[in-house]
Amino acid sequence: MSHNILVTGATGFIGGRLVKGLLQKGHQVIILKRSFSRIDRIRDLLPHLYSYDIDRCDLVQPFREFEKIDAIIHLATSYGRNQESLSDIVDVNTLFPLRLLEAASHFQVHCFLNTDTYFNKLPFPYQGLEGYSLSKRHFREWGAQFARLQKIHFVNISLEHVFGPGDGDSKFVPFLIRHLLKNAAPLDLTPGEQKRDFIYIEDVVSAFLYILNHAICCPTSYQEYEVGTGQSVSLRTFIGTAHKLSHSITPLNFGTIPYREQEIMDSVANIEQLVSLEWSPQYTLERALSLTIAHYASQTDRED
């Protein structure tokens, strides 16, 4: 069945892929973006989307112009990696989605799907991205409060380490692969024993679609999902696999960088809730890495 789905963060790495997946499922997709947002990832999709620039219109405009919005998928986020102030990070990660949640409640949107981070498994803000993790945690708590008051069905989706072609160059996996493909200078690394649940972007999109389909039909007021493969691997294994698949000769200097204080040494998704929806990841680590490496290799060839 087709539904009206409003998406924030549609111009981002996950958002661009998810919007495409929603359209393929026959949904009508409304996106909120900024007038100056880069649209490279969704340029070919724009004719099929209803787009609103939130810096040029009232936030409630799409709710007034559409008879019914069935669900909101909130992906927009600020990591604070570009020298943003704490107040700017809080505005993007807490205040903006809170205003959106209030509008959704007022206009009787059935469900709000919020994107959270595995960093927030910690009982304290993740070091290095304190503003990001703390502001995301605050909004999750507001969402839970709205659900307790029966104002909306709030779904919190905690993502593990997502990767794939087209992610931001400053992210760990793109940086690693580009460095390896260039056979660049030795790469200084931590000992690499910390474990992460690496999940390919297409499996993440698939999980969102399964969760959305269930949430629209489900009367429950609050739900949580962890999205990953359900298995963690050490960074040493992940980096070694990427090194082998890229045929790199870059020396890997494990142990030259110390772990950050209070480092997360093992993060893995509990995917029981997703499995109950009959979802399962379809990409092995090697296949996902091979596809990602091929993407960046083709980019490197064009640059040369």
Annotated active-site residue 283? The verdict is no
Q: Cβ(286)–Cβ(294) under 8 Å?
A: no
Q: Cβ(12)–Cβ(76) under 8 Å?
A: yes
Q: For residue 159, give the 3-state DSSP assignment.
A: strand
CA angle at residue 238 from 234 to 244, to 5 degrees? 140
Q: Which residues contact 149 (CB under 8 A, 6 or more apart)?
A: none
Structure tokens at 70: 């069935």
Closest CA to 240 of 203, 191, 202: 191
Structure tokens at 240: 């070694």
Q: Which of 132, 200, 225, 296 is catalytic?
A: 132
Q: How far is the CA of 29 from the CAs of 13, 64, 260, in angstroms? A: 17, 15, 41
Catalytic residues: 132
